Amino acid sequence: MAIALKKPDVAAALLATNEQHSKTYLDPTWPPYRAELEQTLNIAREHLDERRFESAWAEGLGMTADEALDYAVAELASLATLRDESL
């Protein structure tokens, strides 16, 4: 969803969190979803320079699952606020 909302940095951070937790809990991403995650990761990389991508990735690696959820909700809320202000 972050890619669709033109937030590749958010996508990169959340994908990093997913990757970290998958490794930590030995819970690999189910194969049908893996291709979608890889595609989203590639899109995020295409839209960010290397420094911004690495920064977002590092941010995501440092998040707990709860922090990632809060981050995603906050990003969506800020987008909704921007949309409402433009109406």
Decide: 79 and 5 in contact? Cβ < 8 Å: yes
Predicted TM-score (pTM) of this structure = 0.75
What pLDDT is stored for residue 29 in this prediction?
64
For 61, the domain range is 8-86
| Average pLDDT rounded to a whole number, residues 17-29 | 76
Q: With contact defined as beta carbons under 8 Å apart, do 10 and 4 qualify?
A: no
Residue 54 resides in a domain: yes
Q: Is residue 59 part of a domain?
A: yes
Report if residue 2 sits inside a domain: no
C-beta neighbour count of 21 within 10 angstroms = 15
Task: For residue 27, give the nearest of 18, 15, 36 by alpha carbon.
Answer: 18
* Count of the separate structural domains present in the chain: 1
Confidence bin at 2 (pLDDT 50/70/90):
confident
Query: How much is the pLDDT for 43?
Result: 94
Question: Mind listing the pLDDT tens digit for each residue in 28-87?
Answer: 666 778 888 889 999 999 999 999 999 999 999 999 989 999 999 998 888 767 666 665
Is the residue at 1 inside a domain? no
